[in-house]
Structure 1
Amino acid sequence: MDPSRARSHSLGQSEINWDRLDKTKFYVVGAGLFTGITVALYPVSVVKTRLQVASKDAIERNALSVVRNILKTEGIPGLYRGFGIVITGAIPARIIFLTSLETTKAATLKLTEQFNLSEPTQAAIANGVAGLTSSLLSQAVFVPLDVISQKLMVQGYSGNMRYSGGLDVARRILKSDGFRGLYRGFGLSIMTYSPSSAVWWASYGSSQRYIWRLLGYTADNKELAPKQWEIVLVQATGGIIAGATASFVTTPLDTIKTRRQVMEVEKRETTRQAIRKLIAEDGWKGLYRGLGPRFISMSAWGTSMILAYEYLKRLCAKD
């Protein structure tokens, strides 16, 4: 085994480097795979968003009541409000994200090799930097879609305006607020998603290494190969740990960002006013509105995504 392969093996029992992937197959198969996951988990995002923007007097104060009300008044389609907009922009956003994630991770691993760091620390740094960078780059595509889809998610709910579709939302935003309206909350999105991505990937990378060590797979024992079910179990556990960590750290920022993005121009609050209003209504726990659905969303999405992503990499490996 050559040194680079040995290093890759010791850093993670299922690590597949960027230069070993068939890029065309990776993007084509990946687009279909992640679209399927988005279809399955999108309703959780709708529920989370409605909880975060609910007024003080809203009847629905928990996730189950929101789901019941949506099904009662709108049926299954209500759980997919704004889905068309999200899925349209998801493919270019994911291409940007995944490409920058893998290339940045490979470059950072190379840079950190000169330092005498433990494998979990090196993995945390490389994955964290890669997650942060890829999120920053993909936000340029994602934020306008986020603004439009979230307005569709909460239309007619808790006093919010109704729209005839995504184009209607975009037209009204451009008319009332100009092009910058599509990037409302962009700073908060950067502050929310970029740290969230960094924390998620850093937690995922380092937790995997600790779990492999607990199972007896170390750099000194390269001949012991893990079984397929062990690889999947370790990756899934790492995804759950990463989702729990990232959701707890970043939910307050996500709540404030969501409320500002769906607010109409005449009702607009500053970030400080939004924080004060949440605390006045619910105390400090108001900043954690939607934590349950967000934890479920991040853990379910993160675990499903990472299992699909690691499977995709194995499927698209050149050798």
Structure 2
Amino acid sequence: MSVETEASATSLALSDVNINWERLDKTKFHVIGAILFTAQMGSLHPISVVKTRMQVVEGTLAHMNGFSVFKNIMRNDGIRGIFRGFGTSAVGSLPGRVLALTSLEISKEMVLKHTEHMKMPETTRVGLANGVAGMVSNVVSCAYYVPLDVICQRLMVQDLPGISTYNGPFDAIRGVLRTEGVRGLYRGFGLTMLTMSPANALWWGAYGAAQHLIWKTLGYGGHSEKKPSHLELVSVQATAGTVAGACSSVITTPIDTIKTRLQVMDNYGAGRPSIRKTTRLLIEEDGWAGFYRGFGPRFLNMSLWGTSMIVTYELIKRLSLKQE
């Protein structure tokens, strides 16, 4: 069977899975997305708080495991402590999510159309389209999300030694602007752009390729025109999301550790914090193992995030289909 025939058959059999941008009601897509993604973000926020604190804390606390850090937060601050920064993150993410999802879907559709007649395996084509879309989405939304990330992470760790204390997000913004200007809100921007865009491309590319391979393994595509059940849809998407999230966490944790410390820590002595200073201080404190501080919570967070995010995302797309 030719590549074109295989692609056509696969598309026909899995048309309920691969819902493209043109088939979506855009208003429903963004409204439902805002509701469901906020709920998903809330369920994983405590893990993010633990991960961030593990990456930033110094001294004897630096060697506590994730569960011990969680217990320490609960003992000192209760439920409020593990949800620090959530309100700012949830409300602030809404405009950024519109940018990210729109650019993701449009760029994926464009790549799929431009590669439609190229002689390449369909798995490669789907992985390429998802990977390019993930990178474009990250580049488009990065200018918005980096300042939000800086403020949210400062709120998460503000009771730690050597970290400034703020009375809410607006006070944090004023504090950063007063001491560093607008540049302070973009700490780690270059590092985020240069590293997280490829990482996002890796996540979406791995997800697209993994999902396509699983469907083929289960007998969908090719000459088959059977449609997957709802349980099969969720199971395959969740599995592909877990695989993509796990792979991404292993590769990106060292960079995420440097970025987090660069964005929230101020005790660098004279001069502005830099990637070099941050890296040197981390190595001095904990050796090369320090780059994987918070790896357990991050691995768990990325795996759970990958699973829940993609299942939520695909559900949003199905709920947002135009009436035909």
TM more than 0.5:
yes
Which region of structure 1 is more displaced relative to structure 2, 19-28 or 52-61? 52-61
Which region of structure 1 is more displaced relative to structure 2, 295-304 or 67-76? 295-304
- Which position in structure 2 is the counterpart of 1:172? 175
- Looking at structure 1, the residues matched to 249 and 15 of structure 2 have their Cα atoms a distance apart, in angstroms, of 25
C-alpha contact 2:14 2:220 (8 A) present in aligned 1: no
1:246 aligns with 2:252: no
Paired-residue identity, %: 51
- Which position in structure 1 is the counterpart of 2:262? 260
- Which position in structure 2 is the counterpart of 1:193? 196
SS in 1 for 2:61: coil
Q: 1:12/1:58 Cα in 2 relative to 1: closer, same or farther (>3 Å)?
A: farther
- Looking at structure 1, the residues matched to 64 and 145 of structure 2 have their Cα atoms a distance apart, in angstroms, of 28
Distance apart, 1:271 and its partner CA: 1.0
1:292 aligns with 2:296: yes
**TM-score between the two structures when normalised by the length of structure 1:** 0.94
Distance apart, 1:56 and its partner CA: 3.7
CA displacement, residues 143-176 of structure 1 (integer Å, 9 cap, x when unaligned) = 1111011111111214312111111111111111
Equivalent of 1:216 in 211, 214, 219: 219
Distance apart, 1:193 and its partner CA: 2.4
Equivalent of 1:36 in 17, 35, 39: 39
1:306 aligns with 2:310: yes
Within 5 Å, which residues of 2 pair with 1:1-319? 8-9=11-12, 14-58=17-61, 61-221=64-224, 223-264=225-266, 267=269, 268-318=272-322, 319=324
C-alpha contact 2:245 2:302 (8 A) present in aligned 1: yes
- Looking at structure 2, the residues matched to 10 and 195 of structure 1 have their Cα atoms a distance apart, in angstroms, of 31
For structure 2, the residue ranges without an aligned partner over 5 or more in a row are 1-5
C-alpha contact 2:9 2:223 (8 A) present in aligned 1: no
Distance apart, 1:304 and its partner CA: 0.8
- Looking at structure 2, the residues matched to 190 and 266 of structure 1 have their Cα atoms a distance apart, in angstroms, of 23
Letter in 1 for 2:48: S
SS in 2 for 1:116: coil
For structure 1, the residue ranges without an aligned partner over 5 or more in a row are none
- Looking at structure 1, the residues matched to 138 and 227 of structure 2 have their Cα atoms a distance apart, in angstroms, of 33
C-alpha contact 1:256 1:274 (8 A) present in aligned 2: yes
SS in 2 for 1:75: helix
Distance apart, 1:7 and its partner CA: 6.0
Distance apart, 1:281 and its partner CA: 2.8
- Looking at structure 1, the residues matched to 238 and 307 of structure 2 have their Cα atoms a distance apart, in angstroms, of 5
Letter in 2 for 1:227: S
CA displacement, residues 253-299 of structure 1 (integer Å, 9 cap, x when unaligned) = 11000000002275454212222232333332211111111111111
Moved over 3 A (4+): 3-13, 265-269
SS in 1 for 2:200: helix
- Looking at structure 1, the residues matched to 113 and 14 of structure 2 have their Cα atoms a distance apart, in angstroms, of 12
